Amino acid sequence: MRALVVGDSGGIGAALAAALRARGAEVTGLSRRRDGLELTDEATVARAAAGLDGAFELILDATGALEIDGRGPEKALAALDPAAMARQFAVNAIGPALLIKHLHPRLPRPGRGVFATLSARVGSIADNRLGGWISYRAAKAALNQIVRTAAVEIARARPEAVVVALHPGTVATTLTVRYAGAHPTVAPETAAANLLAVLDGLGPADSGGFFAWDGTRVPW
C-alpha cells in the first residue's frame, strides 16, 4: 500500500507514518518545516501535490492547531476576536479543504482509496454541552461539512473512495498539553493504532462520515 501523511512531523502525524511503515506500507510525508507546505498558502499546497507521483490508497491529513499565534481557545463570548477566529478557520477548515482539493485526484480510480482528516469531537454541534471554544469548535464544524460535501463529489468519479473526518481522542501532544485538564490522554502511538483500525473497517457507504477513535459515529 502507498500512503501519504500530511503533517508527518507532528505528534499524531509522525505516529501514523511510523505505524504505517510497520505495516509494510510505502509512506510519503509532507510537512511545513521540511517541504514548505503552508496550509494558508494554496500555491504551496498545489506545488506539493504536483510533486507527487502515482496514486495513494491512503491519504491522511494530520494537520490542525488548537492554539494559533499564541492565542488559545476562548472561554467566553467576550473573548471572541475576529482575527483569531479567521486564523482558526484558515488552519483548521480552509487548509484541509485545499488539501482535499489538490490531493483527492491522487486517490486510485478504480479501487478503494481513503482520504481522512483529523477533526475533533468539539466540532460536533449536537454534542456541544459546555459551550466555549467558539472559534475552534466552529472551524472543526466547518471542516466536517467540507468533508461531507467533498465526499459526495468525489464519489461521482471514484465510487469506491472513503472520505471521512476522524476524532482521535485527547492525544498527549504539544497541541493539547495545556488544555487536556482532567481528560484522559493517550500516547500518539496509541491514537495512530486506533485511527488506522477504524479506517480498516470503513467502506464507501461510510464516506462523508465523522468517526471517533473507537469506531463510533460522532453526531454532527
Domain boundaries, the chain: 2-212
pLDDT band, residue 177 (cuts 50/70/90): low
pLDDT per residue as tens digits for the range 25-81:
999 999 999 999 999 999 999 999 999 999 999 999 999 999 999 899 999 999 999
Whether pTM exceeds 0.85: yes
Distances 105 to 6, 49, 71, 113, 192 between C-alpha atoms, Å: 15, 9, 35, 10, 25
Distances 113 to 32, 94, 103 between C-alpha atoms, Å: 24, 22, 12
- Of the candidates 28, 27, 36, 99, the residue with the CA atom closest to the CA atom of residue 63: 99
DSSP 92: I
In whole angstroms, give the CA distance from residue 212 to residue 198.
8
Burial category of 90 from C-beta neighbours within 10 Å (exposed 0-12, middle 13-18, buried 19 and up): middle
* 3-state secondary structure at position 91: helix
Indicate the fold that domain 2-212 takes in CATH.
Rossmann fold (3.40.50)
DSSP 218: P
- Torsion angle in degrees (nearest 10) through CA of 5, 8, 13, 19: 70
Question: pLDDT: is 98 or 177 the higher one?
Answer: 98
Q: Please compute the mean of the pLDDT values over residues 19-30 and round it to a whole number.
A: 98
Cβ neighbours around 148 below 10 Å, total: 17
